[in-house]
Amino acid sequence: MASTKRSIGCHVSVAGGLSRALAHGEERGCDAIQAFPSNPRGWAVPSPDLAEEELLAQGVVDRGWPLLLHSPYLVNIGAPDPVVHERSIINLGFSLERGVRLAARGVVVHTGSAKGESRDEAVARAGETVVDLLEAIPDSNILIELTAGSGSLIAGTIDELADVFEAAEWHPRLGICLDTCHLFAAGVDITSETGRKKMRASLKEIGPERVKVIHVNDSLDGLGSRRDRHARIGQGEIGEEPLQKILAWPELKHAPLILETPGDAKENGEDIAIVRRLISSKSRAS
């Protein structure tokens, strides 16, 4: 019988080689990991190190860990600037190809920004870009992450994300990455039962099966701050109980949980242990 254990882990460094992610994950008590496929703050992509890729791919298979990749921060699939857009396509394409070789669950990418043009135009461009990349790279999966909503970012709520999915013609290999800090910062009040009910209804409309990973983070700043600053679990403005309520939703129990909380290996491990405690309790979903 297949295991029903929920996979929990965190974002880990690949400094020194991709396969180093395995040791970093074990040190933190992970049974799922996320990593950057290339420099997170630059456009350049490395020459593929196939030996390192094979070590990582085999390592996660041997451990039974889900693996997620997170595209670099500069990627903007809705960018009106043609140079930025082209660089984004090249960079995300590399991430997707590497993800296929690593048998990753998908590549997480931020929704992007309109930056001076209408949101509708940026949404249309993002949707077209997603379809082109997924069709060009078979077996790849793009997981769009809701952002904190600052500036002219095009999707901070599930309802806004639905527009991107519509523009991408609801491509079957397009999924969602929910981030609890980003939702809260974008103004989704996940600390209240009313706010959670509204979010859950929106999620039902877009399809909870589309959620392929959940980033579990507390928020350093308050509701609607539009500031993407993560806090350790239970040490921010969200708190443990609201996170526990969301993680108890049965329609999301298929999705691995990835923490991106600040701290060293010991602190990361402590946060993972807290989340394990939260999901193992008998909390009623709401």
DSSP result, 59-111:
HHHHHT--EEEE--TT--TT-SSHHHHHHHHHHHHHHHHHHHHTT-SEEEEE-
Name the residue among 155, 70, 169 with its Cα closest to residue 127: 169
Q: Which of 166, 184, 185 is nearest to 174 (CA)?
A: 166
Q: Are 227 and 150 in contact (CB under 8 A)?
A: yes
Amino acid at site 206? I
Residue 60 counted as domain residue: yes
Domain at 199, CATH number: 3.20.20.150
DSSP reduced 3-state for 53: helix
- Domain-located, residue 2: no
Better-scored residue on pLDDT, 285 or 103 = 103
**Is the pLDDT assigned to residue 196 strictly greater than 50?**
yes
With respect to residue 1, please indicate whether it lies within any of the assigned structural domains. Answer: no
Position 219 in a domain: yes
Sign of the dihedral defined by the CA atoms of residues 123, 126, 132, 137, in that order: negative
Segments forming the whole domain that contains residue 107:
8-280
State yes or no: pLDDT of 171 exceeds 70: yes
Return the pLDDT at 3: 46
**pLDDT (average), residues 179-202:** 96
pLDDT at residue 2 tops 50: no
Residue 52 lies in a domain: yes
The answer to whether position 67 is within a domain reads yes
Asked whether residue 53 is domain-assigned, the answer is yes
Give the integer Cα–Cα distance in Å for 269 and 10: 9
How many structural domains does the chain have? 1
Say how many Å lie between the first and final Cα of the chain, rounded.
29
pLDDT in tens, 3-52: 468 999 999 999 999 999 999 999 999 999 999 999 999 999 999 999 99
* 3 occurs within a structural domain: no
CA distance 208 to 48: 34
10 Å Cβ neighbour count for 157?
Answer: 18
Q: Whole-model pTM above 0.85?
A: yes
Look at residues 261, 179, 213, 262 and name the one whose alpha carbon lies nearest to residue 99: 213
User: Using alpha carbons only, how large is the chain's radius of gyration in Å?
Assistant: 18
Span 87-99, pLDDT tens digits: 999 999 999 999 9
- In whole angstroms, give the CA distance from residue 243 to residue 16: 34
